[in-house]
Amino acid sequence: MTTASQRLRYADGISAAAYPAAVIGPISWQREGSLWQAQIPTSPLAAGSILTPSLSLLENWPYDFQFELRAREGCWPLPKVPSESGSKAVSGDNKTVTPMLDCWHIEKQLHDVAVHVRCAAATRPERYLLCLTSRSLKLTALPPPPSQTVHTPRPQSLSQMLENPRTASRICSPVSLAMALTGQRPLPPMHQILPLCLDPATGMYGMWPLAIRAASRFGAIGAVELLEDWSLVIASLQRGRPVVASIRFPKDGLEGSPQPATSGHLVVVHGIDGDRALVNDPAAANRGAVMRRYDLAQFTEAWFRHRGAAYILAP
């Protein structure tokens, strides 16, 4: 059956117990020369969907990995994580599948689908979380905003605008990641997080699987998830863990935001209070202005309408 929505998560027992969503079970890692590799079959993928992979390893630092989407219709690799400086972006035919930096856009229906991962690590992965999620790139109907009140201890406030002016406008992902990590442990120094989130090939800081890899350096297992509703967010908040949300909205689409509009920005969700989303927004001009109470319906639109990407972390 062709489907847009899939949630395929594989982990060892300890990591599975720590993660706030259902895990299928462990995966069979096979030695391939100097690499560890695995292949994950999926259901056929529908046209108009997006598929995102991520891999998080503990106790194997440093490590790198690369995903490849395979189907009856062809093969489409994503860039290596982290990429190699000077490497060229992976390109596709843009008619069947469009490989992006951190996901695939499915243009035509795919059959006999599997995702292959090759991982370079000194030893077999023992503590790991491998996640593949897909959904429609754009939802035609939004989920209703949740009616319950739930929150985590408020993460430490960080403003990306107080960092190096040459990069301040581009580092919402690592700054949001740092704030999300403060919910479980002391604040990682920004001078350590920023290089780990910098994609060498493109100079970008917002590559999703690279952020998840960076979190593992500080002891947090995690995954990129493509969400369609608030259920996993609530489950994470109930465990005391904030969630990093990838949002986008048109001019005046999110009242009270420090940005009038954005085609892509990351923030930290740490609670729901009535009709308000409790959010740390790193685009604020100073730390005192980072905490925001966004209209829940507007925030639901900004987050879930397009992609619905999130970083879900666990200790």
* Model confidence, pTM: 0.95
The 10 Å Cβ neighbour count of residue 147 is 9
In order along its 315 residues, the chain shows pLDDT tens digits of: 556 799 999 999 999 999 999 999 999 999 999 899 999 999 999 999 999 999 999 999 999 999 999 999 999 999 999 998 877 666 556 689 999 989 999 999 999 999 999 999 999 999 999 999 999 999 999 999 998 899 999 999 999 999 999 999 999 999 999 999 986 567 778 999 999 999 999 999 999 999 999 999 999 999 999 999 999 999 999 999 999 999 999 999 999 999 999 999 999 999 999 999 999 999 999 999 999 999 999 999 999 999 999 999 998
Q: What's 79's DSSP letter?
A: P
The 10 Å Cβ neighbour count of residue 14 is 12
Q: What pLDDT score does 220 carry?
A: 95
Report d(CA 178, CA 157) in Å as an integer. Answer: 10
